[in-house]
Structure 1
Amino acid sequence: MLSHTLILEIGIAVLLVALVGLLANKLRFSVIPFFILIGMVLGQHAPTFGAVDLTFTESKPFIDFMGRLGVLFLLFYLGLEFSVGRLVKSGKSIVSGGLFYVLLNFFSGLFIGWMMELPFKEMMVLCGLMTSSSTAIVAKVLTDLKRTANPETEVIMGMIMFDDLFIAMHISFLSGLILTGSTSILAVAGTSALALTFILTFLVLGRKLVPAIDKVLQDKTSELFVLIIFSLLFVIAGFSETIHVAEAIGALMAGLVLADSKYIKKIEGMVLPYKDFFGAMFFFSFGLSIDMYSLGGAVGWGALAALITVMVNVASGYFATKFSGLKPRNAVDIGFTLSARGEFSIIMANIGKAGGLLPVVQSFVVVYVLLLSIISPLLTKESKNIWNALSGTSKEVKPVRKKLSDLEALSELNKNAQS
């Protein structure tokens, strides 16, 4: 039987998320850590005021489901924005820089996992969440700092696209390793191969169906348009889950296919509000699932991992500048920007939770994501000053603009000197 306060609790949850979002915008900061923090504060230790339970015990299953929808919309929208053609067009420099980025971050995950003495499955989750940059935070930071036209921004976005490709494959691997419960190497390899086959087959066949989908979408009312797009999204994501491929990958594939539709702009405009709303609830629901008093053992490891991530990302930025012909100072711009962690790290941690892995992975990702989602934008904002301090370069002295009266006086002196 449903509680009579269910709708009220969900309304309060959405209101609180909106309020911390307003606070984040006021501070000109990423909203992601705010959404997670408000969930953690209210989660398991919040007080009860009359009929209103701020632990959201009754409404938590519905909030969790909204968070699950948030994952689907986030990945679906990413697929709509993704373009394999752009990656190819960006050239060898992007692929080379992206490869160094993935390798350096993946091996840093192996190092931290080895230091923490984690089992193999937990270590693979750690490697994935430490390799996945936050597309949402990176895009917001570049826009807020008005750096979208900077020469290093094309390299940054290209490296993120390369990283997203890797993350898609790694999530498929984790699905085979963790969600199926297989212990045999052959069984895991078979499930991973099935996931890869599903992805490749879906991309090839799905793109051929785009003209037929466009024909169905032609001249449809907004109501039917939404129903058709959402039915494709949920059926594809649900089917992928039945063959032990993460539903998030199914949503990504649906987006990749529809990215070739001639109605792409209309689809993006339609999906964006759902992505923003359910995405916010995804981070809030993740915060609700975390006991903030259980983070103590993961604080040190999360902080160390965050430090290593910033260092290796600057190193990958250095390689990217070499391949793309940018100036060495752009290495810190690239590295600091790409250090942001968010949605994909949490998605992979949730895969570990669904597979019953050690709780330390959840605690670790909370500390790790919170630190980097806060530190990365700050470092990016101050990247020029940090580079000047590290390289010993003095700040650029701007030429002093002379007043008109000063110029007239100087002209008069020159005339007197000539006479």
Structure 2
Amino acid sequence: MHTPQLFADLLIILLVSVPVAYLCLRLKLPLLVGLMLTGIAIGPSGFGLIKEISGIEVLAEIGVMLLLFTIGLEFSIKRLAEMKRLVLIGGGLQVGVTIAATAGAAIMFGRPASQAIFFGFLVALSSTAIVLKSYVDRNEVDSPHGRAGIAILLFQDISIVFMLLAIPLLGGEDIVSFTSIVISLGSSLLALALIVLGAWFLLPKFLKQVVQLRSPEAFLLTVVLLCLGMSWVTSHFGLSLALGAFIAGMVLADSDYSHQVTSEVLPFRDVFNSLFFVSIGMLLSVPLLIANAGWVAILVLVLILGKALIIWGIIRILGYPQRIATMTGLGIAQIGEFSFVLAKAGQSANLLPETDYQSFLAASIISMIATPFLITASPRIGFFVQSIFKDGNVHDVENSEDDIHLTSSGGLQQHVIIVGYGLNGRNLARVLRAVGVPYVILELNADVVRRAKAKGEKINFGDATRREVLLHAGIEQA
């Protein structure tokens, strides 16, 4: 019987990933690094064990979509509106200043202006998948530097539309006019607004009807459909797949079912997301890296330091302390996966010579591999920078540390988690409320959750047998 090549490739990835992951965890190294090293080892420039690379890349893209979907569940539309200053001003300045600085440096080295601007596009983007995965693992999505980093990443994802539209113009194609660029960009932004509005009205109502069926299977299938379906919709309007998944999660964040949705999606997200990090490693050409090791090392150093300094300055302008600005800058100082998409398009438009492409690819992947280490070291580096510049007293720094570890459970400490809101659950909640003990309730009946919320109870829809639901309820602080 013939075995499909994709199945064999997946088996090889798992066979190599598991021992590498075990070794990394035993050595206390970030798992993301182990997965990317796995990709390097089994990829075309390694042992060449993977044949169906395009199939692996499709599965990896699903992992990125599921990751952005779960992040969206942490950021409701209301919270995103509160972050508009970070998204629009912080993200806009980061993209604009990075493009300008990179283009200026490239022109100084004799590159044409169009090519220099394109280089700026490549450097301006950061890795949404790697940064968010690192923040999720460290429980820092809702920290001050986590919110700042995610806001900038969101603006970068939206700016990709403009960059892709501008590439033919930079390449000198006569068929593309500035007017058509503006029209296409305006259409995409209008479509984005309509998609968010439509999803906000329709998705929670649709999920509510599915919940009434009391079927875990139907609930899971619906959640996956909403995630992948919204990604498909946004991609047809020139936006990224990941942005659509984020929107789907964001509009469900305020629903009663967000915690249960997260717990259902997490196993799939982690498996598919692992394939993404392996696929990144497979892009690296080891022979070229060895042949140009010195130049690539200099390029990596300049990219990370330059980008971190730009982001640090922007976060400081927005009024954040030195420590948070430093941690944000180090967290998103790498090159992003969407830069690879732009690089391919730039090659077609004669904006990126093959030698530059290979060097850029090697430097980008190394910057991605370095990211988990930079994020781990960023608190200590941030504290060191704060102590030198002294923009606040010790009390301010301690408050910042408290903010960093504030979770999505609302900051509850020493609270009680009530499982079920039946007769006993209601009686216990009444007693705890009377004696002033904080509590949160988990309930699987959607109607009960809705009625209790209307009365002001702190209650969430979720299965208390699921680890992620309990983490959202703050079980580690209970």
Query: What TM-score, normalized to structure 2?
Result: 0.65
In the other structure, the counterpart of 1:348 is 339
| 1:41 CA displacement | 2.6
Q: How many angstroms apart in 2 are the aligned matches of 1:315 and 1:333?
A: 13
2:10 aligns to what?
10
Name stretches of at least 5 consecutive residues in structure 2 with no aligned partner. Answer: 395-478
- Give the superposition deviation at 1:331: 4.4
Deviation at 1:275, TM superposition (A): 1.9
Give the total of aligned pairs.
377
If asked which structure has higher relative contact order (CA below 8 Å, sep 6+), I would say 1
Q: Which amino acid aligns with 1:22?
A: Y
Q: Indicate how the Cα distance of structure 1 residues 131 and 108 shifts in structure 2: closer, same or farther if over 3 A, else same.
A: farther
Q: Which amino acid aligns with 1:245?
A: L
* CA distance 1:100–1:204, change in 2 (3 Å): same
**Which of 282, 287, 291 is the aligned partner of 1:288?**
282
Is 1:368 matched up with 2:364? yes
Q: Provide the residue aligned with 2:69 in structure 1.
A: 76
Matched, 1:310 2:308: no
Could you tell me whether the CA contact under 8 Å between 1:207 and 1:260 is conserved in 2? no
Alpha-carbon distance change, 5 to 176 in structure 1, aligned in 2, over 3 angstroms:
closer
Q: Given the superposition, is the C-alpha separation of residues 81 and 42 from structure 1 closer, same or farther in structure 2, using an over 3 Å criterion?
A: same
Assess, with a 3 A threshold, how the Cα gap between structure 1 residues 310 and 227 changes in structure 2: closer, same or farther.
same
Deviation, 1:13, is 0.9
Structure 2 counterpart of 1:12, one-letter code: I
- Indicate if the aligned counterparts of 1:98 and 1:162 stay in contact, CA closer than 8 A: yes
Show CA shifts across 1:228-259 (max 9, x none): 22223333322333343333333333233333
Note the aligned Cα RMSD (angstroms). Answer: 4.0
Amino acid at match of 2:255: S
User: C-alpha distance in 1, partners of 2:221/2:198?
Assistant: 22
CA distance in 2, matches of 1:372, 1:382: 20
Are the structure 2 counterparts of residues 103 and 301 from structure 1 closer, same or farther at C-alpha, using a change threshold of 3 Å?
A: farther
Contact 2:45 2:284 in 1 (8 A): no
Superposition map of 1:66-215 within 5 A: 66-89=59-82, 100-111=93-104, 114=107, 115=109, 117=111, 120=114, 123-124=117-118, 126-132=120-126, 134=128, 136-137=130-131, 140=134, 144=138, 154-177=143-166, 183-215=176-208
The offset of 1:322, in angstroms, is 6.0
Larger C-alpha radius of gyration, 1 or 2? 1
Alpha-carbon separation, structure 2, partners of 1:325 and 1:243 = 35
Report the equivalent of 1:19. 19
Question: How big is the shift at 1:270?
Answer: 1.7
Q: Corresponding residue for 2:417?
A: none
Shift of 1:202: 0.6
> Offset at 1:277?
1.4
Separation in 1, partners of 2:191, 2:297: 35
Amino acid at match of 1:347: F
**Structure 1 unaligned residues grouped into runs of 5+:** 48-53, 397-419
Q: Report if aligned partners of 2:35, 2:277 keep a CA contact under 8 Å in 1.
A: yes
Residue 337 of structure 2 aligns to a residue whose secondary structure is helix
Aligned residue number for residue 383 of structure 1 = 381
Using a 3 Å threshold, how does the CA distance of structure 1 residues 334 and 347 change in structure 2: closer, same or farther? closer
Is the contact made by 2:130 and 2:368 (CA closer than 8 Å) also made in structure 1?
Answer: no
Change (3 A) 1:318 1:223: same
- Report if aligned partners of 1:352, 1:361 keep a CA contact under 8 Å in 2: yes
Instruction: Quickly say closer, same or farther: Cα 1:19–1:105, change in 2 above 3 A.
Output: farther
Give me the whole-angstrom Cα distance separating, in 1, the residues matched to 2:286 and 2:179. Answer: 39
The one of 251, 258, 266 equivalent to 1:257 is: 251
- Cα distance in structure 1, aligned partners of 2:179 and 2:344: 23
SS at match of 1:268: helix
Aligned equivalents of 2:40, 2:121: Cα separation in 1: 24
Counterpart CA distance in 1 for 2:112 and 2:49 is 31
- Distance in 1 between the 2:37 and 2:6 partners? 22
Structure 1 distance, partners of 2:37, 2:83, is 37
Change (3 A) 1:313 1:279: same
TM-score, with structure 1 as normaliser: 0.73
